[in-house]
Structure 1
Amino acid sequence: MKIGELAKRSGLSAATIRFYESKGLITAVSRKANGYREYPLEAVAVLAIIANAQQTGFTLEEIRQVMPGNLSNWKHEELVGMLKKKVADMEAMELKLAQSKLQLQNMIQLIEGKPENMDCDDNANRILKGMGILKAG
């Protein structure tokens, strides 16, 4: 199939398909005499895998490392290892995000907990002293 049909079937632009081809993620089987690329039907599935992997956080380099030359030749151990590593990375990111969220919520509470008769500058100093950023004095 030509790139236009592959783009239509995959939902990706021809430019994206050419980009993936330039990165070695997908290959055209051949070129016709007129220079048009011809793609196998399995290219639709390969593009779906690539798009899905990108949506779940894989880089193109990570995808390229485990994508087989054809879909019947997966590198099973590498693929499972990479998937497990990505899950671990996501869990670490979730923990970091939760910590950052807690810090922001604490900051909001400190700011909103301003004594009624205190102006904003004095409140900022109070918060910074409480955080150990400014010396008491």
Structure 2
Amino acid sequence: MKIGELAKHSGLAPSRIRFYESSGLIRGVERKDNGYREYGPEALWTLDIITSAQRAGFSLDEIRNLLPNDQARWQHEALLASLERKVTEIELLQQRLAQNKAQLLVAIDSVKNRPDALACTDRAQWVLEKLRESTGAAPSEPPNDGSSA
């Protein structure tokens, strides 16, 4: 099939398909005498895998290393290990995002409920202290400018 037909079936722009081809993700593309690319039926299958893997968070390099030369030659152990590694990465990212969200909620609450009696610079320090308390971090020391009290 020609690139226009492949683009129509895959929902991808021809430029994206050419990019994947030049990146080595789509293999076995023939050039006809008229210069047109001729894609085999496996090209649509490959594009589906590429787009699904990208949505799952895989980089193009990771995808390139996982794609077999043909559908019958999957390296199942490497594929399984990559999928499990990606799940672990996602779980770690979810933990970091949950921590970031919790810290932002503390910051929002601290800003909304800061004591009105404090001076403006003291209010900022109060909010920062609430953030440190929420993470269990030790209070920061004032900078040492070399003078003694």
TM-score, normalised relative to structure 2: 0.83
Q: Is the 8 A contact 1:125 1:134 kept in 2?
A: no
The runs of at least 4 consecutive aligned structure 1 residues that moved more than 4 Å come to none
Give CA-to-partner distance per residue, 1:93-127, whole Å, 9 cap, x none: 01111111111111122212212333543311323
Equivalent position SS for 2:72: coil
Is the aligned partner of 1:104 residue 2:108?
Answer: no
5+ residue gaps, structure 1: none
Q: Distance in 2 between matches of 1:127 and 1:10?
A: 51
After TM superposition, list the pairs within 5 Å mapping 1:37-116 onto structure 2.
37-116=37-116
Q: Distance in 2 between matches of 1:42 and 1:126?
A: 61
Q: Is the 8 A contact 2:2 2:37 kept in 1?
A: yes
Aligned to 1:121: 121
Q: Distance in 2 between matches of 1:87 and 1:112?
A: 37
5+ residue gaps, structure 2: 133-138, 143-149
Give the drift of 1:41: 1.3
Report the count of equivalent residues: 135
The residue identity in structure 2 corresponding to 1:56 is A
Q: Is the 8 A contact 2:114 2:127 kept in 1?
A: no
Coordinate RMSD, CA, aligned: 1.6
Q: Is the 8 A contact 2:111 2:127 kept in 1?
A: yes
Q: Distance in 2 between matches of 1:77 and 1:34?
A: 42
